[in-house]
Structure 1
Amino acid sequence: MKRNVWSGWNLVVAVAAGALVAGSGACGGDDGDPDPGPTDAGTQTDAGTDGGTQAPAEEGRALAASNGGLIVVGSTEANLATTSVDVLVRRYTATGDLDTTFGTQGSVVVDFEGPATGAISGEREQADRADTVAVLADGSLLVAGFAQGGATSDSRDFAVVKLTPSGQLDTSFNKTGRSRLHFGADGSVDFRGAVHRILPMADGRFYVGGFLTKSDGLDEDFALIRYKADGSLDTTFTSAGSPAGSWIGGAYTNAESVQGIAIQGTSIVIGGGDDFAAVRIRPAGNQDLTFGTSGLAKSVGGRAHAMVARPGGGFLLAGERQDVKVGGTGYGVMKLVAYTAEGKPDVTFGPEGVREFTAPEDVLDVVNVSGLAIQADGKILVYANVRAKPALFRFQANGDLDTAFGTGGVVRWPETQLTLPLFIRPTTGPKLVVSGDTAFVTDANIYTPGFFPGPARLLLKSTGL
């Protein structure tokens, strides 16, 4: 099933020697689809604290619970003139304040080096960005995303940072606390990739998953890399046609991007992208062709933005399918796909394992899904962007809307004017966080109770990320 498209390409692990400086300020920003191309990093926003001086634009991309508070990762323009856009890591306390014991006054900014500007269709390049974070058992952090790979192209390298629990670069990790994985010959700008998920293992090794494509971005393919605890590639993880330390998928659909990683025994299941694709990789690095149909599970139509393991085995993917006709009009609708542990459609969840939601009308025009969690009782939480508004859905374990939740199974917030379904919405007005079984919401620094399972805490302020 796998097509050998990466044969002969080299991987280079480079030590990044960029700067580590303090972050600051209120946030703003924009984003596109889950695997966006270069974007305008946003306009400066008025911090409103010192006579109208402007704070650097910032963008929150992912989060994790840490030390009783919350770690948020993304990007910042704090050093735009010198190092362009840099990785941002910030920690908040349980009361929503910056944790000033972390990094420099609560923030860590990491530069992977590279040109500050470059011509890509007249847009400023987004140099470095974090898209995912994992908290290890000792409280240290793995942060991953991409680093700009070239001055005049949209080349992007896989980037991983390891921080100590106090927010310092962990120099036991690749000697600098940073690891940069370049695809292609040294200095080439042929490929574009990004990490979207991290899965730490009990022995200290970890997987990162994302996508890899030619720099034209026309076809994205699954990419799974295994690292040793010290930040070096685990070259015992091998697959025919892929560089040592990696498994690079063939062109199963137009675009595959790892939006979820789950461990299954000694194997790893990854999923996401077009046609709700999922594959299983054995611990040695070869694809398990007994999974799904000839090694691939898929449900034709739409794109998966998130994946989680289901209690008792199996996997759930959530995303959207566009141009679904409802009353003669085309809409984007939410699509959930359930697979068994062996990658077969779980027909107990719905016909061919699929549930699509065209009613009530309030669920139509789903653009994106960025939050997916299964509660301890089996109920499913999905956070999505519906008509440019954040919406939280709760479903029964069988895929039915839980009408006891919110209004008809949905909790909605006011217009945000942005089509980014982030866990954290960096705009004025309400922000929503879903982390495991716990959800958090803020509105003008006032906690809104009454909808969510788990303990209720205010974590984010409207003046923060």
Structure 2
Amino acid sequence: MNHSVRKAGWVALAAGVLLVGGGACGGDDGPSDDNPSSDAGTQTDAGTKLPAEEGRALAVSNGGLVVVGSTEANLATTGVDLLVRRYTASGEVDTSFGTQGSVVLDFEGPAKGPISGQREQDDRADTVAVLADGSILVAGFARGGSASDSRDFAVVKLKANGQLDTSFNKTGRSRLHFGEENAVDFVGTVHSLLPLADGRFYVGGFLTKSNGIDEDFALIRYNADGSLDTTFKSAGSPSGSWIGGAYTDAEAVQGMALQGSSVVLGGGDHFKAVRITSSGSQDLTFGTNGLAQSEDGQAHVLVARPNGGFLLAGSRQDVKVDGVSHGVLKLVAYTADGKPDVTFGPAGVRELTAPAGVLDVVDVSGLRIQADGKLLVFADVYAKPVLFRLQANGDLDTSFGTDGMVRWPETQLAVPLFIRSTTGPKLAILGDRAFVTDANIYSSGFFPDENARLLLKSTGL
């Protein structure tokens, strides 16, 4: 990364002076939200057009599901706003949460910029974590300046009932601006949250110059009260952070795992991972000279393995199968020290190229290891959501679904993965938990009302 990025420092601001906004950026974020389709994610009911909404992540909360993302409900006045909503276990909106089930937050600023028709100051949540006391951490980004692609880290803390927790940064929310005050030089986005037992927490994502040429791992540690933990230090990075700058590909923290007092983070091009000590330095004994990687492809999710290692899942595009290019599901297993786990596959890698039904994976948004060691992987395969189940060694579990897969029909929804429990056979995927019971085929009965407008790009499986 540019050394100017690492030396730039940042400004942490309270909500009262925020001028922020949104849109997707970098990694597997997708296209910018500056000009969303006029009917993207909307749907008509008795002549009423609902505001466009996008769910990005979910977690188990109070016996139900809390979903975070964004909404255009107030588009004309405040632009795209951060959205938090809770559903009951039966899939109904939990009206005891927030205001009739939802929390909509605007980090202030005009809805229109100086360039006619260009929205700015949009806010979006990309990840969520529910703490032991029921409180909820939500993180994503907020646009950092008018007519720019600049984005700041945004973190919100809610009480279990959906009210802002004002013990957190005095307002319940925090914005971290990169670079000089009022500058619009950097793009930052949070993809992952990792709470610690003592109340502190990590946020991980990426940081890049606004020109988007390079993306780098970004790891920030906060105190429980929302202030930066300045005891977390790394040479060349502002206090409270570790910003990776030694790599030239796109690296984004798509998942984190604790190893004792250290944290492993990984994601992005070439399935990269690093280990950062509790003091904030990179552990150069990890992997090769501090870096674990597997050539080709992009990792979208990371989970810890029971043996102390960890697993990254994603895709590799343009793989030739019978002379035709396809996207394939790629999994990379590392040992606890960041070395390829050759017991999982050659160089720790498994790529699924057969049967034909596993091909053309374009996005992986969920990964979980079941108690029996089997792997659940959720992917968007050209608008057809697919749940794969693999054996612990990476082979498809052909007893599951058809050839190890359960498929949903093609849909206009980004990833309609909200499957409520039913009597009898059911498939339930609840944010940080996933389990299957006698559900090896698709059934529309697993969905709540498909008009309920729950759009999930990132499942948080």
TM-score (norm 1): 0.88
Correspondence 1:212 to 2:201: no
- The residue identity in structure 2 corresponding to 1:88 is L
- The residue identity in structure 1 corresponding to 2:179 is G
- The residue identity in structure 1 corresponding to 2:194 is L
Match of 1:225 in 2: 220
**Deviation of the 1:357 alpha carbon:** 0.7
- The residue identity in structure 1 corresponding to 2:385 is P
Correspondence 1:322 to 2:317: yes
Q: Secondary structure at the match of 2:219?
A: strand
Deviation digits for residues 182-239 of structure 1 (CA, Å, limit 9, x no counterpart): 0000000000011001000010000000000001112110000000000000000000
Classify 1:5/1:266 alpha carbon distance in 2 versus 1 (closer, same or farther; 3 Å): farther
Contact 2:65 2:431 in 1 (8 A): no
Residues 66-465 of structure 1 mapped to structure 2, 5 A cutoff: 66-118=61-113, 124-125=119-120, 127-417=122-412, 420-421=414-415, 423=417, 433=429, 435-439=431-435, 450-451=439-440, 460-464=448-452, 465=454
Distance in 2, matches of 1:42 and 1:433, equals 29
Correspondence 1:8 to 2:7: yes
**Deviation of the 1:301 alpha carbon:** 0.1
Q: Secondary structure at the match of 2:73?
A: coil
Q: Secondary structure at the match of 1:362?
A: helix
Distance in 2, matches of 1:432 and 1:34, equals 25
Correspondence 1:38 to 2:32: yes
Deviation digits for residues 396-420 of structure 1 (CA, Å, limit 9, x no counterpart): 11111111111010111111146x4
Q: Which moved more, 1:29-38 or 1:298-307?
A: 29-38
**Deviation of the 1:294 alpha carbon:** 0.1
**Deviation of the 1:43 alpha carbon:** 2.6
Gaps (5+ residues) in structure 2? 420-426, 455-461
Q: Secondary structure at the match of 1:307?
A: strand
Q: Which moved more, 1:38-47 or 1:317-326?
A: 38-47
Contact 1:78 1:85 in 2 (8 A): yes
- The residue identity in structure 2 corresponding to 1:57 is A
Match of 1:428 in 2: none
- The residue identity in structure 2 corresponding to 1:13 is A
- The residue identity in structure 1 corresponding to 2:72 is E
Distance in 2, matches of 1:267 and 1:259, equals 17
Classify 1:245/1:37 alpha carbon distance in 2 versus 1 (closer, same or farther; 3 Å): farther
Distance in 1, matches of 2:101 and 2:114, equals 33
Classify 1:287/1:307 alpha carbon distance in 2 versus 1 (closer, same or farther; 3 Å): same
Contact 2:266 2:273 in 1 (8 A): yes
Contact 1:87 1:130 in 2 (8 A): yes
Q: Secondary structure at the match of 2:7?
A: coil
Contact 2:333 2:341 in 1 (8 A): yes
Give the fraction of aligned pairs with identical amino acids, expressed as a percent. 68
**Deviation of the 1:463 alpha carbon:** 2.5
- The residue identity in structure 2 corresponding to 1:35 is D
TM-score (norm 2): 0.89
Distance in 1, matches of 2:131 and 2:447, equals 21
Contact 1:92 1:459 in 2 (8 A): no
Contact 2:27 2:268 in 1 (8 A): no
Distance in 2, matches of 1:32 and 1:434, equals 26
- The residue identity in structure 2 corresponding to 1:462 is E
Classify 1:184/1:124 alpha carbon distance in 2 versus 1 (closer, same or farther; 3 Å): same
Q: Secondary structure at the match of 2:203?
A: strand
Contact 1:332 1:365 in 2 (8 A): yes
- The residue identity in structure 1 corresponding to 2:28 is P
Classify 1:163/1:460 alpha carbon distance in 2 versus 1 (closer, same or farther; 3 Å): farther
Classify 1:218/1:175 alpha carbon distance in 2 versus 1 (closer, same or farther; 3 Å): same
**Deviation of the 1:434 alpha carbon:** 5.2
Contact 1:289 1:296 in 2 (8 A): yes
**Deviation of the 1:459 alpha carbon:** 7.6
**Deviation of the 1:320 alpha carbon:** 0.5
Classify 1:252/1:259 alpha carbon distance in 2 versus 1 (closer, same or farther; 3 Å): same
Aligned residues: 436
**Deviation of the 1:3 alpha carbon:** 8.3
- The residue identity in structure 1 corresponding to 2:10 is L
Q: Secondary structure at the match of 1:316?
A: strand
- The residue identity in structure 2 corresponding to 1:36 is G
Distance in 1, matches of 2:416 and 2:291, equals 29
Classify 1:95/1:187 alpha carbon distance in 2 versus 1 (closer, same or farther; 3 Å): same
Gaps (5+ residues) in structure 1? 20-28, 426-430, 441-447
- The residue identity in structure 2 corresponding to 1:450 is A
Distance in 1, matches of 2:211 and 2:117, equals 16
Classify 1:460/1:110 alpha carbon distance in 2 versus 1 (closer, same or farther; 3 Å): farther
**Deviation of the 1:275 alpha carbon:** 0.3
Correspondence 1:55 to 2:50: yes
- The residue identity in structure 2 corresponding to 1:435 is G
Match of 1:22 in 2: none
**Deviation of the 1:31 alpha carbon:** 10
Distance in 2, matches of 1:332 and 1:432, equals 27
Classify 1:101/1:434 alpha carbon distance in 2 versus 1 (closer, same or farther; 3 Å): closer
